[in-house]
Chains A and B, each alone.
Chain A
Amino acid sequence: MLKYFRFVTVLAGVSLAMAAALPADAGEYPDRPIKIVVPSGAGGSTDTAARILAVNIYEAIGQPVVVFNKKGASGGIGINYGINVKPDGYILMEGMIGGHVLHPAMNKGAGYTPKDYTPIAMTQMNPNVLVVRDDSPYKSVKDLLAAIKKSPGKLKFSHAGAGSIHFFGIHLLLKVAGLTKEHAIAVPYKGGKRSMAGLLRGEVDFHQTNLVSAIDFIQAGKVRALAVTTKKRLKLLPDVPTYTEVGYPEVDIFGWRGIIGPKGLPKEIVDKWATAIQKTMKRRGWKKLVTRVGDIPRYMGPAEFTKLIDADFKRYRQMAKDLGILVE
């Protein structure tokens, strides 16, 4: 009996000690830790971005910020959760183009559109780059498009699932080049990294992905970059032309990440976060980590960010309709 009693006492002691260790001051927002939902898996680039922000924003927001993942359905699971929480600013989302814009643009059944959430601020962007294998005969975008035109339905590209940025990027290119989706075959992979492996393995002929996934393979000489989606050439890849240079300025798709709140988030909270993010982005620690993971720091305030998201959504919804890939 004594042994048992001691066990219970220890349990009680531990629970009380844990309870006592928790902070509890009531008052102005935020008065308790804030959670950020990442709608993709742990360890991915969106997740890393959220975590880097979370460890750096403490000073600016005054409360610990913690990150948790809810992945699935191209981000749909996490976002459906994130838009339906109480809009008190204690649960926010890490925004990503795939889940917040492309998934609902392609899926009417996604359960949300950009009207259902409140963009707060963009923190970083990541340009995309079109790559082919090193031994591939295509030396430029023109070569590749000519080959696709010549033998429709022969060349294949890899992507990270219908509705991913890899998928839309190539379709956007095909569209502005006056080709249809039947001209090239889309091969789906689980995630961007595996679709890159598909290219390396020779299962597909070309692939468009974000810079960070491709840069190592470009530098190692395993793949060749044909074009980047930025307006100006990148410092990292001075020899690679931009899409504007090769005559397709419309292909300006790029990944972005930022913080997005639920529907009906009060303006004070949006502004508080926007200011805090702006402040945090000046920190050296944040900049160093973000550059290391391959993103380009880029701030965009609530109004501008909302405009970008709305415009993107309209454009990709139209594209999905035109391509016949819109899921009702």
Chain B
Amino acid sequence: MDIDVVLQSFGLISRWQVMLACLVGVIWGMFVGVTPGLTGIMAVVIALPFTFFFEPQTAIALLLGIYVTAIYGGSVTAIMIATPGTPNAAATLLDGYPMACQGKARQALEMALYASVTAGVVSTVVAMTIFPIVATFALRFGAPEIFALIVFSITIIAGVSGDSLIKGFIAAALGFLLATVGQDPIHGSSRFTFGLHELQGGMHILTVLVGLFTIPEIIVRGVEAYRAKVKVTVGEMGPSLTWRQYFRYFPTYMRSSAAGSLIGALPGLGGSPAAFLGYFIAQRFSKHPERFGKGELEGVAGAESGNNAVCGPALVPMMSLGIPGDTTTAVLMGALIVHGLSPGPMLFTNNPQFVYSVFLLLFVCLVMLLVIGYGVVRMARWVVEVPTQILFPVVLIFATFGTYAVRGSMIDVISMFGVGILGFAMRTQGIPAAPFAIAFILGPLFENEFRKSLIISQGSLEIFVSSAISVTFLLLAVASAVATVYLHWRLKGTEGEKMMQA
């Protein structure tokens, strides 16, 4: 990192227009993030045409503000009303929503905010200092390497999820099966589309998440509210997060940020796997893994560090190779191209100031997120005072509008209710929803990279052990699987009995 260049790039962004654009982006991103169904990508797309008329720095400031904030914004609804505002927030929901139900919403929201900002800063620093290394590093991840990484992630996630291992496996198989609906990733032939064109595009992740988490919650709360026959509210936001609580989880932020940064630097994985990986890594290292899923602060910390750590590193392959890490960075890239700053190998050579100014803008956005986010935490108290019998019908309408809005397709709404009924059935028998969601997210990546590797190697399995990176991850996967077995063996007799039971 050349200090002179960084100082020059300060000059590029220290203008009021750029700061204003940042602020507008952060506010708009927050608004969209907390509205279920409006994803970060839509927010960026709506703002995109305006940026055609801006200076490049101003344009990118606006879009970055949205990009960073929408990831956090989604967790507000996940915590307050069990509806992930964006797909990235699903892992936050696992512990955040139970915390809100226990009257600790404020702690959950603040932890989500502080963990997001911490992870954002850490990952951006990483991305900025080792920019050229990350760029070549990303290029070394081909299909077999990504496959190995996914296998490793699965071994991290499996085994610690849920009370019963066998129920978790059934849920994962169901989730993976649901992900195979649509076009086959390799040949393009249709699978389980039942002759409907609308299903060719497959199930949207937000449809599945809302169906899986929100609809069962509405059904169960409905039963409760009907029987209670009075106004039932969560009632209070609970105490604020203390500094001690924040600093206690510092290692968690670091570990989950590291996982999130790795996922972010690799094109094509995106924020949701990062969030889940961050969450389960936090559980792996936690002193109380059995408390996860029941309202554990550390779970929120892990999930939010994981998904926000994606931001900075995701910009690296986009700017250095012209390969966007996820759909939102693809739009950012489109904006750069329109401004004549074609991302690719030439961008850093020709215009290093611009590259660094983008990272500096990320810091600015994170600071603004901290301020605006704090305001949103305070506003969230409106939600806890709404009685159940009003809140959950309203959530139902939001979920339906939101699901439709994602792709403008009724088939998504139908699927959402279908998955919702399935999710409710699963919930009544304690079949966990998290493995279902994770399998839905990781399943297609697993299949795609596996089959692509075999096409490249023309059927030979040797390709999976032909590079140092994939061997490393496969060995780590074996180690992690062994550790899982050990964990269960150690817990046997105490919590283990409960975890192993069918």
A residues with CB within 8 A of B: 41-45, 47-48, 51-52, 54-55, 67-74, 76-77, 80-81, 106-107, 109-111, 153, 156, 161-163, 185-190, 193-194, 196-198, 200-204, 213, 215-217, 219-220, 222, 289, 292-294, 327
Contact = CB atoms under 8 A, between A and B. Distances in A.
B142 A203 contact: yes
Interface string B25-60: 000000000000000011011001100110000000
Interface in B393-422: 407-409
A77 B412 CA distance: 13
B49 A216 contact: no
Interface stretch (B226-234, B236-244, B339-347, B474-482): B339-347
B324 A76 contact: no
Nearest to B183: A73
Given A161-B188, A216-B345, A293-B338, A197 B327 contact: no
Nearest to A68: B408
Contacts of B267: 194, 197
B157 to A, nearest CB: 23
A2 to B, nearest CB: 15
Nearest to B143: A203
A203 B42 CA distance: 33
A54 B323 contact: no
Interface stretch (B84-92, B329-337, B362-370): B329-337
B480 to A, nearest CB: 26
Contact of A73 (B42, B140, B201, B344): B201
A48 B334 contact: yes
A42 B201 contact: no
A69 B406 CA distance: 10
Interface stretch (B217-225, B450-458, B489-497): B450-458
Given A217-B344, A222-B345, A194 B188 contact: no
Contact of B41 (A42, A163, A293): A42
A44 B198 CA distance: 21
A198 B142 contact: yes
A52 B455 contact: no
A327 B186 CA distance: 13
Contacts of B41: 42
9 closest Cβ pairs, A-B complex: A72-B201, A216-B344, A43-B331, A73-B200, A43-B330, A220-B345, A43-B334, A162-B188, A42-B45
Contacts of B186: 162, 188
Given A48-B337, A54-B49, A193-B322, A217 B143 contact: no
Kindly name the residue among A70, A77, A110 whose own CB sees the greatest number of chain B CB atoms within 10 A: A77
Contacts of A110: 197
B252 interface: no
Nearest to A198: B142
A188 B452 contact: yes
Interface in B151-201: 182-183, 185-190, 197-198, 200-201
